[in-house]
Amino acid sequence: MKILIVEDDRETAAYLAKGLTESGYTVDRAGDGREGFFLASSGSYDAIVLDRMLPNMDGLTLLGGLRAAAIQTPALILSALGSVDDRVRGLRAGSDDYLVKPFAFSELLARLEALLRRGATPPAVTRLRVADLELDLLTRTVRRGDKSIELLPREFQLLEHLMRNAGHVVTRTMLLEHVWDYHFDPQTNVIDVHVSRLRQKIDKGFDHPLLHTVRGAGYCLRAPG
Amino acid sequence: MTAVEKLSLPSRRPWPGPARLVAGLPRLLGTHAFRLAALYFAVFAASVLGVLLFVYWTSAGFVERQTEATLDAEITGLAEQYAQRGLSGLVQIVAARSAGDRGDNMLYLVTDPGGRPLAGNIAGWPAGVPARAGSLSFTIEAKSQGQTEPHPARGSLFIIPGGYRLLVGRDISDGAAFRNLVKTTLLWAGLLALALGSLGGAAMSRNLLRRVEEVNRTSERVMAGNLSDRVPLKGTSDEFDQLAANLNRMLEQIERLMTAMREVTDNVAHDLKTPLSRLRTRLELALIAPADDAARSEAIRGAIDEADRLLATFNALLSIAEAESGARRSQAAPLDLAELAGAAAELYQPVAEDSGFAVSLETQAGIGIRGDRHLLSQAFANLLDNALKYAGGGPIEIRVLRRGGRAVLEVADHGPGIPEGDREVVFDRFVRLEPSRTTPGNGLGLSLVRAVAKLHDGAVELADNHPGLRVSLSFPETAT
């Protein structure tokens, strides 16, 4: 997997490159907007991590140019501008995700992985499956093995999001954004309690737990073994 | 210095102090008030001149016109006599009319072609008068009180066939004296009016200037840092008073904002510096203490937690600033208040139940408001955060209702509540009533709630829930 980092702050770029390389990605770096546009135009990347404020050409212009040239490489914008207006502008310009600086590297990694998977997931899926856990999107029912599991609507959405990202870390912020559509971090650990309730329902009484807490990052739903 | 420089000087130069107002005549010339007064004076002078000319024309001119009319009538009469009775008849008539002083100041003279008088009341042909027909002005020697003196006269000369001449005139020394009197009177009246006018104009401009000067002086003092200074009001409620009142309101707003900003800066300095230095100490200790990997990891994790808390505080501050600046009005959309409250309650329900609270939600459907979903959700979440943090068990009641035509959201708990005297203070940034500050939090929750409420033309009220705290957020209701 090849990732392009367009970031003018050397330190951030170096730290991103190091982290992503260690996570098994091949990384190219561009220090300004024009260089980034030039590299990205090749269309040979699997994802682009894009700073918004860049010398020579800002991130949104770069992205607009790429999308105009029909290059659909998934892009994640990194920006210090974090209001909802800014996010909306970023997403409208053609980005696929928006992460506000400062951010935790684990958050970036989790979001990047989700982006990379998005292209691979068949869109018309109606049934999600992780090990013996099965979620039917049409009947809105959940089974594990031969046991039917009753979930509240929100718990169903939560599980759906975790299952769509099975095997990958999903952060609390990602859950708040995707399941609740809240773009702020509550002071209380509300997500933890929701997840632990869900865990009670899908893991309790089974030999192999599926829903795991990843310390310092978030949660991961994965098949045992 | 060139003339152009002189002219442009007043506008370039900063407003001088009031002490120089008296001495500053060149400056006065450059003021708008002066130009106004000068214009006023010019119009005034022109109208005075017009009036005086009219008066002169109607009074002095009247005498002249009367003279002309008399002469005309006289000449017509004599011409008739001449036509009927010939030269001798004319000489008789002239001699008759010249006999004695008739008091009408008429002058007659008939001469032969050589200029020798045949009849008339003038001794001889007046000096300097050409023997040519037409109207003329001349001077005669008249006797008055035993003295001979020259008198001005107007008249007409006719050449009668045969070279005889007839001069009919009128001594206009009385008329001239009258005209001179009118002239002098009018001149003095005009000078007096112009003097009064220029004095009035000067007084008017000075008065105008003084009011403007007051505004300027106050502005200068405010700019120099004295934010509490205000423009004095005259109590006349004229335009200047209105201007001053408006300026004062503006100054009040500026002062309030400046004070608020100073407070915020102080608070930010304190509440961000403290955790920052704590963070630094942690990292420093992790670096110098001889520790195993586990201890070092623990120290680093602690530092990350500290950094996260700082970030949370920072983000909360930004959200408040955003809500207060009103920059987010563009995000306003019609919302269902019950739905918003329900979503927030649903998010907090599990964690509340785990902490031993029973959360109840009581809503009326169809209560719509207009607003920013994200900011409102954050405000509701902050209220629930607070209830969980401070209520210490007991039920938490969330209600959505209509009250007094407004859409209201209430969050009530059965905790210790907030003493009445502190209910205003808690909205300030970084205010936490608990002196020990053992509960996690940054003291920004209610500040955001209030900022969000204000952004939505709403209000926040804190009330006693007997026991506990009841927070009411009210908004203008709109159709859903």
pLDDT for B409 beyond 90: yes
Average pLDDT value over all residues in chain B: 82
Query: What is the b/e burial string over B423-449, where b = at least 16 CB atoms within 10 angstroms of the residue's CB?
Result: beebbbbbebeeeeeeeebbbbbbbbb
Q: Are the Cβ atoms of B331 and A85 closer than 8 angstroms? A: yes
**One-character DSSP codes across B273-335:** HHHHHHHHHHHHHHHHS---HHHHHHHHHHHHHHHHHHHHHHHHHHHHHHHHHTGGGGG-EEE
Q: Which is higher by pLDDT, B230 or B37?
A: B230
Output the CA–CA distances (angstroms, integers) from residue B151 to A157, B110, B116, B125, B143, in the order listed: 124, 20, 21, 15, 9
Point out which residues pair with B171 in neighbouring strands: B153
Rounded to whole angstroms, how far apart are CA atoms B285 and B295?
A: 11
Q: Are the Cβ atoms of A84 and B315 closer than 8 angstroms? A: no
Average pLDDT value over all residues in chain A: 89
Q: Residue B448 carries which side chain, given as an amino acid letter?
A: L
pLDDT band at residue B429 using 50, 70 and 90 as cut-offs: confident
Reported as a single tens digit per residue, the pLDDT across A127-171 is 999 999 999 999 999 999 999 999 999 999 999 999 988 888 999
Q: Strand, coil or helix: what is B371?
A: strand
Q: Are the Cβ atoms of A85 and B327 closer than 8 angstroms? A: yes
Q: Which is higher by pLDDT, B178 or B340?
A: B340
Q: Which is higher by pLDDT, A140 or B86?
A: A140
Domain ranges across chain B: 31-226, 283-325, 329-476
A182 touches chain B (CB under 8 A): yes
Average pLDDT over residues B391-413: 90
- pLDDT the model gives residue B4: 43
Reported as a single tens digit per residue, the pLDDT across B456-465 is 889 999 998 8
- pLDDT the model gives residue B438: 61
The sheet carrying A169-171 orders its strands as A169-171, A218-221, A211-214
Q: Which is higher by pLDDT, B120 or B15?
A: B120
Q: Strand, coil or helix: what is B264?
A: helix
**One-character DSSP codes across B233-248:** P-SS-SHHHHHHHHHH
Residue A53 and residue A36 in contact, taking contact as beta carbons nearer than 8 Å: no
**Is B329-476 the same fold as B31-226?**
no
Residue in chain A nearest B330 by alpha carbon? A85
pLDDT for B241 beyond 50: yes
Output the CA–CA distances (angstroms, integers) from residue B58 to A174, B52, B193, in the order listed: 99, 10, 20
The sheet carrying A97-100 orders its strands as A26-30, A2-6, A47-51, A75-79, A97-100
Phi, psi (5° rounding) for residue A7? -155, 130
A189 touches chain B (CB under 8 A): yes
Q: Strand, coil or helix: what is B393?
A: coil
Q: Are the Cβ atoms of B346 and A188 closer than 8 angstroms? A: no
- pLDDT the model gives residue B9: 40
Q: Residue B7 carries which side chain, given as an amino acid letter?
A: L
Q: Which is higher by pLDDT, A110 or A225?
A: A110
Domains of chain A listed by start with CATH number: 2-118 (3.40.50.2300), 127-221 (1.10.10.10)
pLDDT band at residue B10 using 50, 70 and 90 as cut-offs: very low
Average pLDDT over residues B321-330: 69
Average pLDDT over residues B421-429: 82
- pLDDT the model gives residue B13: 47
Among A102, A180, A188, beta carbon nearest to B311: A102
- pLDDT the model gives residue B18: 52
- pLDDT the model gives residue B2: 43
- Scan for tokens 């990292």, then name that residue: B283
Q: Using a pLDDT cut of 70, give the percent of chain B over it.
A: 89
Q: Are the Cβ atoms of B346 and A154 closer than 8 angstroms? A: yes
B318 touches chain A (CB under 8 A): yes
- From the candidates A105, A152, A184, A185, which should be mutated to test the interface with B, based on the most B CB atoms within 10 A? A184
DSSP B443: S
pTM for this entry = 0.62
Q: Which of A96-100, B15-19, B109-113, B291-295 has the lowest mean pLDDT?
A: B15-19
Average pLDDT over residues B262-270: 78
Rounded to whole angstroms, how far apart are CA atoms B476 and A9?
A: 46
B204-213 long-range contacts (CB < 8 A, ≥24 apart) are: B204/B33, B204/B36, B204/B37, B204/B40, B205/B28, B205/B31, B205/B33, B205/B34, B205/B36, B205/B37, B206/B33, B208/B33, B208/B36, B209/B21, B209/B28, B209/B31, B209/B33, B209/B34, B211/B240, B212/B33, B213/B18, B213/B21
Among B331, B385, B442, beta carbon nearest to A186: B385
CATH class of the domain whose range is B31-226: alpha beta
What tokens appear for B279 in the block? 């963070």
Rounded to whole angstroms, how far apart are CA atoms B473 and B480?
A: 18
Interface list for B 340-359 with A (CB within 8 A): 343, 346-348, 350-351, 354
Output the CA–CA distances (angstroms, integers) from residue B281 to B103, B274, B275, B308, in the order listed: 125, 11, 10, 16
Pairing status of strand A147-149 against strand A26-30: unpaired
- pLDDT the model gives residue B26: 66
Task: Strands of B45-190 (E only): list them.
Answer: 106-111, 117-120, 134-144, 147-160, 164-171
pLDDT band at residue B1 using 50, 70 and 90 as cut-offs: very low
pLDDT band at residue B3 using 50, 70 and 90 as cut-offs: very low
**Which residues, at least 6 apart from B459, have a Cβ–Cβ distance to it below 8 Å?**
B453, B473, B474
- pLDDT the model gives residue A121: 55
What tokens appear for A69 in the block? 């040239």
- pLDDT the model gives residue B151: 82
Point out which residues pair with B238 in neighbouring strands: none
- pLDDT the model gives residue A185: 79
Residue A152 has, within 13 A of its CA and on its CB side, a CA count of: 13
- pLDDT the model gives residue B434: 67
Which ipTM was obtained for this model? 0.79
- pLDDT the model gives residue A209: 93
**B329-476 classified as CATH 3.30.565.10:** yes
pLDDT for B437 beyond 60: no
Residue contacts between A and B (CB atoms, under 8 Å): 65
Residue A74 and residue A118 in contact, taking contact as beta carbons nearer than 8 Å: yes
**Which residues, at least 6 apart from B126, have a Cβ–Cβ distance to it below 8 Å?**
B138, B139, B140, B153, B167
pLDDT for B317 beyond 60: yes
Rounded to whole angstroms, how far apart are CA atoms A196 and A193?
A: 5
pLDDT for B406 beyond 90: yes
**Which residues, at least 6 apart from B348, have a Cβ–Cβ distance to it below 8 Å?**
A186, A188, A190, B359, B381, B384, B385, B388
Residue in chain A nearest B445 by alpha carbon? A187
**One-character DSSP codes across chain A:** -EEEEE-S-HHHHHHHHHHHHHTT-EEEEESSHHHHHHHHTT---SEEEEESS-SSS-HHHHHHHHHHTT----EEEEES--SHHHHHHHHHTT-SEEEESS--HHHHHHHHHHHHHHTTS-TT--EEEETTEEEETTTTEEEETTEEE---HHHHHHHHHHHHTTTSEEEHHHHIIIII---S--SS-HHHHHHHHHHHHHHTT-SS--EEEETTTEEEE----
